[in-house]
Structure 1
Amino acid sequence: MSRTIVPAEFRPPRGLGNRHVQTLLPRLRPLVALERDTEILNLPDGDFVELAWVRPAPGRGNAPLFILFHGLEGSFDSPYARELLAAASSLGWRAVMMHFRGCGQAPNRLPRAYHSGDTADAYWLIGQLAKRYPRAIKVAAGVSLGGNMLLKLVAEQGGDGLDLAGAIAISAPLDLAASADALNRGFARVYQRHLLKSLRGKIAAKMAEASLPIGLTLQQLEQLDSFWAYDNQVTAPLHGFASASDYYRRASAGRLLGDIELPTLIVHAADDPFMPADLLARLPVPSDAVRVEIARQGGHVGFMESRHGHLSSWLTRRVARQLQDWMPMPHPLQVTTSRP
């Protein structure tokens, strides 16, 4: 095993180690109560993304900033989003999540959607936040699709191309073709069916309002029952790819792991049902800037543990610890002491 790839400390509760149980458990718990302010961030091409800012926010402008990118068809109401944003906020970070186009409370404007390699919107957001909070350290985290996107972005931009102190990728599908294959087998088809139903619904609504460059009828759209079929007929033509294979090859971040210069943590479960068990073995050795922690169990964005007799998110605890590690120490001149 590469020195950049190490075992994770996660251990599931007795009897709850099955990968599908771990994947589904977070959705069976009550959502963390969290207040937000919504901001519409306009993009250079005339479209927009919706930002969810955790409330209350720190009063000082140099408070550290935590930026979250969700997974496929995720939102502020995804269990992991609430958990991670709340944890960052409780540590004194200004916390914000970017909804990918069409994933917020309103459909996006343009005849397009979002995809796993779509780095331009995140790049624009981070640039805007750099201008707004120039003295704040910033850490970005991405979950599933958002994790793949974030790793691709930091690899493309190099060590100083982004105003980020670090990046965290969770359960990222680093080989999109392999993930599409994994989701088309066994019980994982349940996840595929659920996600495709949501994706098709959004595209159907757009087809009813305006023409889309995909050449499908609504009936043909409904018959797209695998990610290979959907990405070949919808994702690829909507976003300038020749085919699903072309999209998977160009959008997958795994091939870029050796190029990452920014301090980066990747958290992954070997039993993730969205990916093949040997995912990391298929990919280039990560650079020295990357630390990959692989848990033997944990499912897809699961990582539920027993803590003080209650089900708890090890994933949230691990991310919080990483944020604390990257939290800037106060400058000696900023520390004030009272005289005796």
Structure 2
Amino acid sequence: MSLPYGKDFRPPWPLRNGHIQTMLSSSGVRRVLLPRAAKTVLQGAEPVVVDGGGGVRLTGAYTAQKTRSQARGLAVLFHGWEGSVDSTYVLQTGSRLLADGWDIFRLNFRDHGDSHGLNEALFHSCRIDEVIHALGDIAQRWPARPIALAGFSLGGNFALRAALQTSRVGIPLSYVLAVCPIIDPGEGLFSLEETAPWFYQAYFMRKWRHSLQAKQKAFPQHQYFEMSELNQHLRGLTEAMVLRHTDFPSLQQYLDGYSVAGDALLAMQIPATILTARDDPVIPVDAFEKLELPPNVELDIADFGGHCGFIRGYGMTSFTDDYIAARFNALVDEVVPTT
């Protein structure tokens, strides 16, 4: 058996359009059309709270596999910004890995899903320490080995940053796979504002404002933002969040704080794969092509797929399911690497 690669993804027209792929990836249409098998990870899922350290609590869901006498390992999944453990792509990937005999842990970042009332301070993208602490808690409580981690978009960025540190803090992570991760946040923010069609920024801003309103409702005694700040566009509201709710003195220093651009990934100690698409309208491919990577980090740039789409046809299933499953399974099975 050989591994699939991005070059193998050749969807039919009109799914060769990056905008269509991106819009379908998290659309309600896709959720309705997905086969029932893409939601089996919900069956028997145990909602849990994990320790993020320093009193921080993060929510998640654990599903034990039932197809093998012993699990292949533990698969941990990270959603994207303003997604959740119940995002379509997370359910679909989790269900695919579950069928292959992996135990599944789906983690919510702070203030994602229904977790706004758990921690008073706001989520921001530099809160990597609590995610790493949570991974340590997960590894102790569900000791299936190996542990493999997959993340999507911002979740892919978190996954790569966590993988850079898990060996240092003693978390036995064996492999990480990032789908369309944010590489250079400054460039990504500029892309959403200046080059991507207006409806992408509108989509993310609508979801972010809704999340902030849920946070305010959970902690009415705390004023998180002025109304004038909430009415700003992406850059303005992000800068207000940075100055109000982080220790970073400027927006640029905050964006640099979760960048994995340039040579940042040269320190990666475990095998890793980055999958992205050349037609991703949200995260420019240039950032990936500029990466300096060690031999154990695989960069795979497909021609098609949009942002976290990779939708194969009108059944709305994703190429990434087989892609992730094949590489996770390769940790425990004999697989012939080909290019």
> Does residue 224 of the first structure (1) align with residue 235 of the second (2)?
no
After superposition, the C-alpha distances for 1:106-127 in whole angstroms (9 at most, x for unaligned) are: 3233332323332222211221
Q: What is the distance in 2 between the residues matched to 1:135 and 1:25?
A: 34
> Does residue 106 of the first structure (1) align with residue 99 of the second (2)?
no
Could you tell me how far 1:56 is from its partner in structure 2?
A: 5.5
- Aligned-pair RMSD on alpha carbons? 2.4
1:336 is matched with: none
Q: Is this contact kept in 2: 1:171–1:267, CA < 8 A?
A: yes
Pair 14,206 (structure 1): closer, same or farther in 2 beyond 3 Å: closer
Q: Counterparts of 1:136-215 in structure 2 under 5 Å?
A: 136-158=145-167, 161-185=170-194, 187-207=196-216, 209-212=220-223
Q: What is the distance in 2 between the residues matched to 1:146 and 1:204?
A: 22
Alignment coverage as a number of residue pairs? 317
TM-score by length of 1: 0.85
Matched residue type, 1:233: A
Q: Find the partner of 1:268 among 269, 272, 276.
A: 276
Q: Is this contact kept in 2: 1:62–1:137, CA < 8 A?
A: no
Q: Counterparts of 1:297-336 in structure 2 under 5 Å?
A: 297-306=304-313, 310-327=315-332
Q: What is the distance in 2 between the residues matched to 1:277 and 1:188?
A: 16
Pair 317,62 (structure 1): closer, same or farther in 2 beyond 3 Å: closer
- Give the SS at the match of 2:293: coil
After superposition, the C-alpha distances for 1:81-107 in whole angstroms (9 at most, x for unaligned) are: 011100110000000110011212232
Pair 186,262 (structure 1): closer, same or farther in 2 beyond 3 Å: same
2:8 is matched with: 9
Q: Is this contact kept in 2: 1:22–1:299, CA < 8 A?
A: yes
- Give the SS at the match of 1:38: strand
Q: Give ranges in structure 2 of 5+ residues lacking alignment.
A: 335-339
> Does residue 248 of the first structure (1) align with residue 259 of the second (2)?
no
After superposition, the C-alpha distances for 1:295-326 in whole angstroms (9 at most, x for unaligned) are: 112100011124xx855311111111111111
Structure index of larger Rg: 1
Q: What is the distance in 2 between the residues matched to 1:120 and 1:193?
A: 30
Q: Is this contact kept in 1: 2:182–2:188, CA < 8 A?
A: yes
Q: Is this contact kept in 2: 1:158–1:260, CA < 8 A?
A: no
Pair 147,186 (structure 1): closer, same or farther in 2 beyond 3 Å: same
> Does residue 80 of the first structure (1) align with residue 94 of the second (2)?
no
Q: What is the distance in 2 between the residues matched to 1:236 and 1:269?
A: 33
Matched residue type, 2:284: P
Could you tell me how far 1:161 is from its partner in structure 2?
A: 4.0
Q: Give ranges in structure 1 of 5+ residues lacking alignment.
A: 1-5, 330-340
Q: Is this contact kept in 2: 1:61–1:136, CA < 8 A?
A: no
Q: Is this contact kept in 2: 1:12–1:305, CA < 8 A?
A: yes
- Give the SS at the match of 1:247: helix
Could you tell me how far 1:60 is from its partner in structure 2?
A: 6.2
Deviates more, 1:153-162 or 1:14-23: 153-162
